[in-house]
Amino acid sequence: MIKVGIIGSTGYAGQEIVRLLLGHKQVEIVWFGSRSYINQKYYQVYQNMFQLVDAICLDDNMEELANQVDVIFTATPQGLCASLVNEEILKKVKIIDLSADFRIKDVGTYEEWYQLEHQSPQFIEEAVYGLCEINREQIKGARLIANPGCYPTCSTLSIYPLLKEGIIDGNTVIIDAKSGTSGAGRGAKVDNLYCEVNENIKAYGVASHRHTPEIEEQLSYAAGYPIHINFTPHLVPMNRGILVTAYASLKKDVSYEEVKAVYDSYYENERFVRVLDKDVCPQTRWVEGSNFVDVNFKIDPRTNRIVMMGAMDNLVKGAAGQAVQNMNLLFGFPETEGLVMAPVFP
């Protein structure tokens, strides 16, 4: 039984960590951090937690937290974790950061895309990018986990095997992604009002979204050469879910069976990545509420391109679920503990 603290527990991702950990047998949440709701009952912010969580919300205090808990989740805006972490803290506690602060190895790239000065670049090198299916072994020994972004998780897992195996040309990759609205967070903005999102679809951050360099870095590791991509996210009128539709040119003449075999070789032992049957397209409804990523592909011989698709729940595998999966790896728990629920449909 370990003790957990959550900074930013009243955001959507923070609340999802709470939901998941309530079903985890080996943890106790002892710190519900929330600057906005200090001293209020947590369940008054999220009534689904009525009679399940009796705690009050506490201010951010990473030093104090480090003394009380075994692991801290930071589900906070960019910059916060980097501004709070230090060697003293890392000696005492594991940190799983859901922000982008430690995801990108090149601090200049981070500062350019995020328009922030990094407050603790000295920890970037040691931080492990917590994409469990790719970096499982390094995660186990880490002190500081950079929990991947939602779009990068879904994109990377959809594309990685074909890039790693040299089947596609990395610099032809175009990722057209679609996300539910919980990805935009719980801030009170006109753009996220019901009437603005409902009955609408739009692209945003075209050629400028901050997940672009994160995806490029991971794909470059896979390919072994630097990759630049087009990445276009879209906002979809639904609560949860990310769908990635990615395009790339084939470098060789491959059959369905050959490509399927590549995906299977990477994922057949992965509990949370499901390679679907032939011609079954990933859909967000089939993974909602779960930690699954469903992937599949379609070869288009007319254009010699391949369409790679992935679907997942942005709040689970794209945020809280992957964070819990990382925690399980860090502490030697079964990797699936707290994460075995079936997707909820409809």
Q: Which region, judged by CB under 8 A, interacts with its own copies, from 1-9, 10-18, 109-117, 150-158?
A: 10-18
Tokens of 88: 């003293």
278 binds its own copies (CB under 8 A): no
Tokens of 78: 């960019």
Q: Which is nearer to its own copies, 51 or 255 (CB)?
A: 51
The footprint of its own copies on this chain (CB under 8 A) covers a number of residues equal to 85
The whole-angstrom distance between residue 242's C-alpha and the CA centroid of its chain comes to 11
Parallel/antiparallel/unpaired status of strands 27-33 and 230-235: unpaired
274 binds its own copies (CB under 8 A): yes
| Residues 146-185 contacting its own copies, CB under 8 A | 171, 174, 176, 178, 180-182
144 binds its own copies (CB under 8 A): no
Q: Which of 57, 81, 132, 150 is catalytic?
A: 150
In angstroms, the CA 277 to CA 279 distance is 6
In single-letter form, the type of residue at position 40 comes to Q
| Residues 224-243 contacting its own copies, CB under 8 A | 228-230, 232, 234, 236-241, 243
Q: Which is nearer to its own copies, 120 or 314 (CB)?
A: 314
245 binds its own copies (CB under 8 A): yes
Q: Which region, judged by CB under 8 A, interacts with its own copies, from 73-81, 116-124, 296-304, 324-332?
A: 296-304
Whole-angstrom distance between the N-terminal and C-terminal Cα of the chain? 34
In angstroms, the CA 196 to CA 34 distance is 27
User: What single-letter DSSP state applies at residue 170?
Assistant: G
In single-letter form, the type of residue at position 110 comes to Y
Q: How far is the CB of 199 from its own copies (least distance, A)?
A: 5
Residue 298's nearest CA partner among 312, 278, 283 is 278
276 binds its own copies (CB under 8 A): yes
Q: How far is the CB of 269 from its own copies (least distance, A)?
A: 12
Task: Give the number of other Cβ atoms within 10 Å of residue 174's Cβ.
Answer: 14
Q: What is the torsional sign of CA 322, 261, 248, 218?
A: positive
340 binds its own copies (CB under 8 A): yes
In single-letter form, the type of residue at position 89 comes to I
In angstroms, the CA 135 to CA 148 distance is 11
68 binds its own copies (CB under 8 A): no
> Which residue in 136, 298, 331, 335 binds its own copies (CB under 8 A)?
298
In single-letter form, the type of residue at position 103 comes to R
In single-letter form, the type of residue at position 295 comes to V
Q: Is 150 a catalytic residue?
A: yes
The 79-118 contact track toward its own copies, x by CB under 8 A, reads ----------------------------------------
Q: Are 324 and 339 in contact (CB under 8 A)?
A: yes
> Which residue in 28, 38, 50, 88 binds its own copies (CB under 8 A)?
50
Residues with catalytic function: 150
